Amino acid sequence: MNAETKRRLVRAIAEGSPEDLELLARKVVDSERRLGHGRLADELQALLNQPRSARRQRPAPVEPPGLRELPVSRRGNEVLVSVIPRDSLDHHMVLAPEVDDRFARIEREFAARERLRLFGLKPRKTILLYGPPGCGKSLGARRLAWNIGLPLMKVRFDALISSYFGESAANLRSVFEGASQRPSVLLLDECDFIARSRGDSKDIGEASRIVNQLLQLMEDYDAPGLLVATTNVERSLDSALFRRFDEVLFVPLPGQQEAERLLQTTLSAVPVAPDVDWKRVAGLLSGESSATVVKAAQDAAKAAVLSGENLVCETHLVRAIAEARVVREDGKDAQRP
């Protein structure tokens, strides 16, 4: 489409002239046919051949569900979950083959859930992901949501917990009721916040009620999506909770091979020097989290761009890894009493 045609198109839209728009559309069809795009030209021509009344009959737009349809707290009407649409989920993970296979099994069972039920079999629907900080547990929930084609519905514990008698448990019940009406992956991120062992808790009242409510809700869970819980401190969870999960999956820190693949995946959009010794660089990341690996790769790419080289070298990566380690160690020191 040349500049003059673009001007005429914009002018016709601005002036609301359907005749000019139709003329321009026919020019586009002729142009596509001359370029040898016969199939596209035929499709466009078929659209133009429709009666104008049919063209005007547009389906009503599908509006995203409003906040009022999400579960809210009993007191204060606070929204208890945040919803991330499936298309907005970051979901690319690099895992050891045996761990990746277990994620894939959950996804395959969900896809074949109706076929499994014909044989009296239930797919895995309640999953606990545990492992050290930064290993990718939350990303694992996002991956599951992406691969089964559902949005992620993350529980907001700040809104769920209430100081009023019995209200936290009631809010939790509202969340599960909302999940039963909305196909999604319900995420209880850092679930130890509400699922600590009843024997370890000093508060035998409200905390115990929340755990009891969670156990009952998981026992009866039959929503159209998945329930995924994550924790860094699985030993603090109530022992009865583990029996409610269909799958308890340890997400480890990346090994050297996973760190190497994670570096290369993160840097796939930027030029990298051909002489980078990936094994050496990945070896420097031994014992580091996936989050640290990704941050080091991103920082190396930024350094290359800002230096004007536009090529990530091994020096950039080594320096970025050293800086990421310093930040991590400083963070650990800050948390020590």
Residue 91 burial (10 A CB sphere; 0-12, 13-18, 19+): middle
Q: Extract the tokens encoding 264.
A: 């290369």
Regarding pTM above 0.75, the answer is no
* CA nearest to 260, candidates 233, 232, 286: 286
SS3 84: strand
Residue type, 58: R
H/E stretch holding 82: strand 81-84
pLDDT of residue 116: 96
End-to-end CA distance of the chain: 67
> CA 99, CA 118: separation in Å to the nearest integer?
28
Name the DSSP letter for residue 237. B
Tens digit of pLDDT per residue, the chain (337 long)? 566 666 666 565 666 667 667 776 777 777 777 777 777 777 778 777 776 554 444 444 444 444 447 888 877 788 999 999 999 998 889 999 999 999 999 999 999 999 999 999 999 999 999 999 989 999 999 999 999 999 999 999 999 988 777 888 899 999 999 999 989 999 999 998 888 766 655 555 667 888 889 999 999 999 999 999 999 987 778 888 888 999 999 999 999 999 999 999 999 999 999 999 999 999 999 889 999 999 999 999 999 999 998 899 999 999 999 998 776 665 554 444 4
pLDDT of residue 8: 63
Q: How many residues does the chain have?
A: 337
Residue type, 315: T
